[in-house]
Amino acid sequence: MVKHTATSVVTIERFIIEQERLHPEATGELSGILYDLALAAKMIANKVRSAGLADILGSAEQENVQGEVQQKLDVFANETIIKALDHGGRLCAMASEEEPDIIPIPEGFKCGKYVLLFDPLDGSSNIDVNVPVGTIFSVVRKITRGARGEMEDLLQPGRRQVAAGYVIYGSSTMLVYTTGQGAHGFTLDPSIGEFLLSHPDIKIPERGRYLSVNDSYENDWADPVKQLMRSYRGIGGVRKPLSVRYVGSLVADFHRNLLGGGVFCYPANRRSPNGKLRLLYEANPLAFVVEQAGGLATDGKQRIVDVNPTELHQRTPLFIGSRSEVEAASAMLAERPLTAAV
Ligand code: AHG
Ligand code: MN
Ligand code: MN
């Protein structure tokens, strides 16, 4: 990584260019995808900031003063990302949590050698109550031979990701990404509209302080999961208790644990035998980021990034965060059935 002094202002553009120079073989296509994502993030951030005014200015699905129908924020985020990335000639296909099928590159635009998978607005049920939401993204290389992207290009294990990251629309907007050379965070300076390097080479604390889990599902968890959660809480005296923090926006919970140390868990339960979170749009990209920061991510049986996806909207149990806590999850769950047999 290029070293910067404390006083140098490093925009995301400059950082991406400097990272690219470390790879003489790079064509700049991946950098282009990251710029486009940063642009989409700024547009979404702008919209999220005024979301609370929807009731005053006209709520979703009502006509606004210009006679346009206002879109729901997750639909807006989805379309913003597609429009920011479909024409650059760098992608051959996309997939979004909000779309049932592969999103093709429109006829007439050039196709490139990468594929983008994304969750346009994570935690969208929190919008109405002014709680942080996010965007999550993952980039893999095209593996099929034809000009256009196919399902096979989308269904690749997370270890093949070439870039991944997330944006958190919180008290400030931050973008955190990795291309496999550490995880780096940028904070949006709204006065100049630039993402500035604020958290170079993030390292997650080895031991966690926080436990993020929705324990209203406790009755539906398998016994080993119940046992694991009790041990995180310090019951039995084996370990120091973690403090419980659960926002209900994965990005927000993940981000807090990444910076402060902790583990986010969304186990399988009797009603959702594979948990809730999506392997391709949520688990894989955050797993790449956390591993680059020195942490771990597992479904309880194997590394998240080693899971071979079989369908686009596949769900997975997720235990992600500080090394010591995720190792405890693997130790407790590895030999047990993945789905919640209660
Ligand atoms: P999304 O808004 O993209 O559908 O994701 C919501 C997810 C995730 O952000 C969060 O961690 C989880 O749902 C919360 O689920 P529970 O309400 O079941 O705890
Ligand atoms: Mn989500
Ligand atoms: Mn979503």
Q: Decide: 214 in ligand 1 pocket, CB within 6 A.
A: yes
Q: Return the domain boundaries, the chain.
A: 12-199, 210-333
Question: Please, where are the H alpha helices in 72-219?
Answer: 73-85, 151-154
Pick the residue whose CA is nearest to atom 19 on ligand 1.
214
Instruction: Tell me the per-residue pLDDT of 255-303, one tens digit each, with 9 for 90 and over.
Output: 999 999 999 999 999 999 999 999 999 999 999 999 999 999 999 999 9
Residue 337 and residue 230: Cα distance in Å, rounded?
19
What pLDDT is recorded for position 6?
A: 61
Query: Measuring CA to CA, which residue among 123, 137, 139, 136 is closest to residue 73?
Result: 123
Distances (CA, A) of 187 to 38, 61, 198: 11, 32, 6
Answer whether 124 contacts ligand 1 (Cβ < 6 A): yes
What pLDDT is attached to residue 338? Answer: 55
- Percent residues over pLDDT 70 in the chain: 91
Report the pLDDT value the prediction gives residue 62, as an integer from 0 to 100: 55
Statement: 210-333 belongs to CATH 3.40.190.80:
yes
Is the CB of 249 within 6 Å of ligand 1?
yes
Task: Tell me the pLDDT tens digit for each residue of 52-86.
Answer: 776 555 455 555 454 555 568 999 999 999 999 99
- Give the pLDDT confidence score for residue 133 in this predicted structure: 95
3-class secondary structure, 41: helix
Q: What is the pLDDT of residue 342?
A: 45
pLDDT of residue 260: 98
- Does residue 150 carry a pLDDT above 60? yes
| H or E element in which residue 290 lies | helix 284-292
**pTM of the predicted structure, to 2 decimals:** 0.94
How many angstroms separate the alpha carbon of residue 124 from the centre of ligand 1? Answer: 8
Whether CATH 3.40.309.10 fits 12-199: no
Name the residue of 277, 315, 320 to mutate for ligand 1: max ligand atoms within 8 A of Cβ. Answer: 277
**For 47-51, 239-243, 316-320, which range has the lowest pLDDT when averaged over its residues?**
47-51
By CB atoms closer than 10 A (0-12, 13-18, 19+), residue 37 is buried
pLDDT above 80 for 238:
no
